[in-house]
Amino acid sequence: MSMPEPHLYLSTGPHIRRGRTTADIMWLVNLSLAPALLWAVLVFGWPVLGITLSAIAGCALAEHLACKVRGTDSTVYDGSVVCTGLLLAYTLPPGIPLWMPFVGGALGVFFAKTVFGGLGYNIFNVALVGRAIMMATFPVEMTTTWLTPGFGQIGGVDALSGATPLVSLTGGPEAVEAAIVGLPEGMSEGLAFLLGLRPGSVGEVSVLMIVAGAGFLLWQKIIKLTIPLSVLGGALLMSPWSPDPVLYMLSGGLWLGAFFMATDYVTSPSTLKGQIVFGVGIGLLTGMIRNWGGYPEGICYAILLMNTMTPALEEWFRPPRTAPKGTPS
């Protein structure tokens, strides 16, 4: 009887798989972002939904066309571009024209994802690249189209004529005091910022809703606390140089970035030490940009800068390789 010919199978990692697929993870992440979106609709009105759908449509179109050009099946349904569109929309002012998120989403997916080979090959957070492109392309609309919070007045909020609270940090204590005058009467500054009853971007105003979504991801074991706590810790170290440390820690996209963008599997380190350095670096850079830079929000560029460090951190903090006793490693 002849022996079967031996076969050598070659494939890229991972070689040990669990039952949860990429699509499962991405749709769970999308579900975890729902509380922040619902809150934004209550606070800023129905235009928030238009902004979100516009960003998702731009991301989905770019992804679908890229798959057509490559001659592969469309990957729109795996949920990754929906997640990108949601996160991009969450970083935008609630009064921005509806066509702009579509452009930002399409360009972000093209330049940060498809040209690198698709999901799993991108080196930068795709949603933040889209936002950076929009900041360069639509600077006026990205910095002036804010809305006053109007809880329970869906569709009836007004444009904000002054600077947002985060912008006021660069103007000193007097500017901060002027910026928080419009907060709900009888409510403390900390509570208003924690709940999200303040001017700001679509999905980042309510720290409570962001933490609720992050808690769901922790429960599902999709993310760990290492990177988020490192980001918040690094930012906290920079807070003494701010005219209002409470506002500094609770405003802007710090919490959204820490839990939903810095934890991106593809663009963050995989080792414990690497994740700590990565997160602390994001927090420190955010503080430097906010406190001494000409741009009031720093989390976007801090994450993108640390994305470039991920390959180096993976090299510097390699996990130890062990071998059975008596066997060469």
Q: HEC string of 99-125?
A: HHHHHHHHHHHHHHCHHHCCCCCCCCC
CB 162 within 8 A of CB 147: no
CB 45 within 8 A of CB 157: yes
Residue 161 is predicted with a pLDDT of: 46
Residue 118 is predicted with a pLDDT of: 85
Peptide bond into 14 cis (omega under 30): yes
pLDDT per residue rounded down to tens, the chain (329 residues)? 566 666 666 665 555 556 678 899 999 999 999 999 999 998 888 889 999 999 999 999 999 999 888 888 888 999 999 999 999 999 999 999 999 999 999 999 999 999 888 888 899 999 999 999 999 999 999 988 888 777 655 544 555 544 566 666 665 555 555 555 455 666 677 787 788 777 788 988 889 999 999 999 999 999 999 999 999 999 999 999 988 888 889 888 999 999 999 999 999 999 999 999 999 999 999 999 988 887 778 899 999 999 999 999 999 998 777 666 655 55
Assigned token pair, 287: 């503080």
Rg over CA atoms, the chain: 21
Neighbours of 232 (CB within 10 A): 21
Residue 107 is predicted with a pLDDT of: 96
How far apart CA 121 and CA 109 sit, in angstroms, is 12
Residue 155 is predicted with a pLDDT of: 47
pTM for this prediction: 0.87
Domains parsed from the chain with CATH numbers: 23-316 (1.10.3430)
Place of tokens 């001659």: 71
Helices (H), the chain: 22-32, 34-44, 47-70, 80-90, 99-112, 126-137, 139-144, 165-168, 173-179, 189-195, 207-219, 226-238, 245-250, 254-256, 272-292, 299-307, 310-316
Closest CA to 216 of 56, 80, 82, 35: 35
How far apart CA 179 and CA 170 sit, in angstroms, is 12
How far apart CA 109 and CA 191 sit, in angstroms, is 36
CB 206 within 8 A of CB 195: yes
Compute the C-alpha angle 295/300/305, nearest 5°: 100
Is 220 exposed, middle or buried (CB count within 10 Å of its CB: 0-12, 13-18, 19+)? middle
How far apart CA 273 and CA 275 sit, in angstroms, is 5
In this structure, what DSSP letter does residue 3 have? Answer: P
